[in-house]
A and B are shown apart, each in its own frame.
Chain A
């Protein structure tokens, strides 16, 4: 048997061996359609905003949000008790933690002095001592360009400590991404500090900014399908968030703006926001703007929603920024109203339901909230409405949540059956009661 035949047999056996683990195709099709709808909804939203004058649009949006809140909620400002604030940040205690170290400017391949030192000790073939080679590797490895090459006829500047290299995603394509590099140490290796392209201009966040768990992105772009892909990646290479924003298309620049919430804990202190335009032909990255950011180590702020009589009431809380803010909000909701929230608040959630959150997942705008157990009195008509109102309001306060699927012990169907509804449903931001 030739090696070709053996390989062919092995590949076919291996391919079909995994089919048992393959999920249901209908579920997969449903997931695809949810993401398509979400893509279109966001695009439609951007289009209608773009149709208005910028000032009018901004004013309308503010009025819209304001009236939405005053119609069905009332705000109560609750100052958190000292017990909810870490001792090191209470005003009466002298801070003992050192100032956070300044953000290292390099993104890739070195994101810290330790990375640089380790490389200098064992540089292999020494690729990263060459600015252009580093830029091209960045295009290929970090951004996902097909076959990046230095753009011919465009000015490339390299001096002793900084460089800016113009790169196209593959030979012959017109899109140019300028990759900026800095040299670390005397005769040291290069690391990329950022990148930009004319088709994706980013105003927020600014380079080197510290971003919190929820932060604004804005700018102007033109891209295939008007879609600019946005990824938040930490210095370890882990993806914290993948989403997209809609700007202009067909060569016309159009504004984009969004609030992003990173639903995962910050394990790294730094990373980058990567804005990319993809090829209409094959989905590879053709251009990119990359912004270096630090992750803020301050407190995160969020709201939980309870009832006062029949009225839904918003209660502000703060917590550490080390855990996902959506998770913190749900955990706080499930602990119910606290004495410091003031009198008169009621909820089906209480100390008895603390720890109710069994699992939480946020991906592509779909939050999956899994409860560990049922709660007494929640399956009456009034009870289920109150429960859903508090859950929905708490979940949808975060702009990155577009839809939510509630589950009971892993089953969406079980959750709705418990509340006396028929079958699994996914609640959209706009179609909640």
Chain B
């Protein structure tokens, strides 16, 4: 009885060491690019780092349940995307409550006016991106920043490849319209 418990404990320790080792390697390889991804989705550097750290904590404590460690990078991307969604939801719910209380319309998230004055391509593009619905923005960032395929983007977002196609198509059309509107 005691022996069984001891060996179980030893196995668990060995498993933990292995998990820490694997996750450390993934952390070195992926941390920076995941923080960049989260920053593009959230626009808030501090929150981006927290969301990515959350994902690594979950990965490490759940390592033994991961069916295929090769999928860990894809799992991390999904976890970061979900973490970012959850953050944005909090921000939006809070903003909606505040604006409802003040009797004011929901403020524009874009800051497009300031961007136009600066005339900076990157800022204008990012401002236009921030005015898109969340799913369209996510699809565009995954496809054009991470260069994921439609299937990979779909798996990360937890939607079908068909809806990725739709989100990308509509997102690009809306971006183009927003930029043309501004350039006129």
Instruction: Point out the residues of chain A lying under 8 angstroms from B61, CB to CB.
Output: 36, 39-40, 225, 227
Binary interface profile of A, 16-29, with partner B (CB < 8 Å = 1, else 0)? 11110111010011
Q: Which residues of B contact A (CB under 8 A)?
A: 16, 20, 24, 27-28, 31-32, 35-37, 39-40, 45, 49, 52-53, 55-58, 60-62, 65, 75, 78-79, 82-83, 85-86, 89-90, 92-94, 96-98, 100-101, 103, 121-122, 125-126, 129, 140-141, 144-145, 158, 172, 175-176, 179
6 cross-chain pairs, A with B, having the tightest CB-CB distances, nearest first: A10-B125, A237-B94, A15-B36, A237-B93, A11-B145, A282-B78
- Please name 14 further chain A to chain B contacts, defined as beta carbons within 8 Å, in addition to the given A32-B57, A144-B89, A237-B97, sorted by A numbering: A3-B172, A7-B129, A14-B126, A15-B40, A18-B36, A18-B45, A22-B35, A22-B49, A25-B28, A40-B61, A144-B85, A170-B158, A237-B93, A284-B82
Do A18 and B39 touch (CB < 8 A)? yes
Q: How far is the CB of B24 from chain A (nearest CB, A)?
A: 7
The digit string for A234-274, where 1 denotes a CB below 8 A from any CB of B, is 01111100000000000000000000000000000000000
Tell me, yes or no, whether A280 is within 8 Å of chain B by CB: yes
Residues in chain A near residue B24, CB distance under 8 A: 29
Assess whether B60 is in contact with A32, with CB atoms less than 8 Å apart.
yes
Q: 23 A-B pairs, CB-CB below 8 angstroms?
A: A3-B176, A7-B175, A11-B125, A11-B145, A14-B39, A15-B37, A16-B36, A17-B122, A18-B39, A21-B45, A22-B45, A25-B28, A28-B31, A32-B60, A35-B53, A141-B93, A144-B86, A146-B158, A239-B90, A280-B65, A283-B58, A283-B79, A283-B83
Least CB separation from A118: chain B residue:
B100
Across-interface contacts of A76 in B (CB, < 8 A)? none
Q: From residue B67, how far is it (CB to closest CB) to chain A in Å?
A: 9
Q: Contact between A7 and B144 (Cβ–Cβ < 8 Å)?
A: yes
Chain A residue with minimal CB distance to B45?
A21
Residues of B within 8 Å of A8, CB to CB, are 144-145
Return A39 CB to nearest CB of chain B, in Å. 5
For the complex formed, measure the closest distance between the CB of B34 and the CB atoms of chain A, giving whole angstroms: 11
How far, in Å, is B18 (CB) from chain A's closest CB? 14
Chain A residues contacting B125 (CB-CB under 8 Å) are 6-7, 10-11, 14
Q: How far is the CA of A280 from the CA of B78 in the complex (A)?
A: 12
Q: Is A31 located at the chain interface by the 8 A CB criterion?
A: yes
Whole-angstrom CA separation of A432 from B40 in the bound complex:
42
Judged by DSSP, the binding face of A is helix
| Chain A: minimal CB distance from B160 (Å) | 11
Q: Report the minimal beta-carbon distance from A81 to chain B, rounded to whole angstroms.
A: 40
Q: Which residue of A lies closest to B23 (CB)?
A: A32
> Interface code A139-154, partner B: CB below 8 Å = 1, 0 otherwise?
0011010110000000
- A25-B31 in contact (CB<8A): yes
- Are B36 and A3 neighbours in the complex by a CB distance under 8 Å? no
Contact of A282 among B82, B129, B172 (CB under 8 A): B82
A4 part of interface (Cβ distance < 8 Å): yes
Q: Are A15 and B39 in contact (CB under 8 A)?
A: yes
Q: How far is the CA of A282 from the CA of B79 in the complex (A)?
A: 6
Q: Report B-chain residues with C-beta under 8 Å of the C-beta of A17.
A: 122
Report chain B residues within 8 Å CB of A170. Answer: 158
Counting chain A CB atoms within 10 Å of each CB, which of B92, B103, B144 scores highest?
B144
Q: What is the CB-to-nearest-CB distance from B139 to chain A, in angstroms, rounded to a whole number? A: 12
Is A13 part of the contact surface with B, judged by Cβ < 8 Å? yes
A142 and B94 alpha carbons, distance in the complex (Å): 11
- Please, how many angstroms separate the alpha-carbon atoms of A17 and B31 in the complex? 16
Given that A15-B39, A144-B89, A237-B94 are contacting pairs, would A3 and B32 also be in contact in the complex, using a CB cutoff of 8 Å? no
Chain A residues in 8 Å Cβ range of B40: 11, 14-15
Residue numbers in A under 8 Å from B57 (CB-CB):
32, 35-36, 39
- Provide the residues of chain A in CB contact with B45, threshold 8 Å: 18, 21-22
Residues B82 and A12 in contact, CB atoms below 8 Å apart: no
Query: How far does the alpha carbon of A28 sit from the alpha carbon of B176 in the complex, in Å?
Result: 38
> CA separation between A283 and B82, bound complex, in Å?
7
Distance between A74 CB and nearest chain B CB, rounded to angstroms: 38
* Chain B residues in 8 Å Cβ range of A398: none
Q: Is A115 an interface residue (CB 8 A)?
A: yes
CA distance A12 to B39 in the complex (A): 12
CB distance from A428 to the nearest CB of B (A): 17
Please pick, from A32, A114, A142, A282, the residue contacting B27 in the complex, using a CB distance under 8 A.
A32
A224 at interface (Cβ–Cβ under 8 A)? yes
Closest beta carbon of chain B to A141's beta carbon, Å: 6
Q: How far is A36 from B27 in the complex, measured between Cα atoms in Å? A: 14
| Distance between Cα atoms of A66 and B85 in the complex (Å) | 45
Q: Is the CB of A10 within 8 A of B82?
A: no
A contact residues around B141 at 8 Å (CB): 11
